[in-house]
């Protein structure tokens, strides 16, 4: 077993874990933060995406021990209290989700995308979300959702 200490959504969390424990299972099983989902086993789908020290990362491809000492933000930590993050607003306003399973990872990737490029073109958005798969929406409303958030972010 290995001791890890990870700051998750602003709270420091320590635990003894198996060295092979994936970060996504640490979040889901140990911390009950079930917003990050597992949709594949080859790092293709991005449903498990979280922010690791501010950058998007696929939490199914990282061992919890690799995140020792890091700061992790999950979908549960994105809103400011009752105030939704602009991307959460965007996904709601623009019908950017259907079954919702890819959504937490999609939103966290989009956070990273807008951090890097606050005024993306449609093509920038489509290319920027290529690491996240959605089988329901055909992506058009997701693009709209990110544009919605980008507009609000710019205004804000």
The one among 75, 111, 113, 149 contacting other proteins by CB under 8 A: 75
155 contacts: CB under 8 Å, gap ≥ 6: none
DSSP string of 85-130, one letter each residue: -HHHHHHHHTT--SS-SSHHHHHHHHHHHHHH-SS--HHHHHHHTT
Find out whether 146 and 125 touch, Cβ atoms under 8 Å.
Answer: yes
117 near other proteins, judged by CB under 8 A: no
Residue of 3, 127, 151, 154 interacting with other proteins (CB under 8 A)? 127
Residue 72, strand partner residues? 8, 52
Tell me how far, at minimum, the Cβ of 54 lies from other proteins, in Å: 19
Minimum CB–partner distance for residue 7 and other proteins (Å): 18
Residues that bind other proteins (CB under 8 A): 18, 20-21, 28, 32-42, 44-45, 47, 74-76, 78-79, 84, 88, 91-93, 95, 97-104, 107, 122-123, 125-127, 129-130, 132-143
């Amino acid at each position: 077993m290995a001791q890890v200490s990870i700051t998750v959504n602003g709270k420091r969390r320590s635990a003894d874990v198996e060295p092979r424990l994936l970060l996504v299972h640490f979040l889901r099983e140990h911390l009950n933060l079930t917003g990050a989902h597992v949709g594949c086993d080859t790092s293709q789908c991005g449903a498990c995406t979280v922010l690791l020290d501010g950058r998007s990362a696929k939490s199914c491809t990282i061992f919890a021990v690799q995140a020792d000492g890091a700061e992790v933000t999950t979908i549960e930590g994105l809103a400011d209290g009752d105030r939704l993050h602009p991307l959460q607003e965007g996904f709601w306003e623009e019908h950017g989700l259907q079954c919702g399973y890819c959504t937490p990872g999609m939103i966290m990737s989009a956070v990273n995308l807008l951090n890097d490029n606050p005024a993306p073109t449609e093509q920038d958005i489509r290319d920027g979300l290529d690491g996240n798969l959605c089988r329901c929406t055909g992506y058009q409303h997701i693009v709209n959702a990110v544009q919605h958030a980008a507009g609000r972010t710019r205004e804000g």
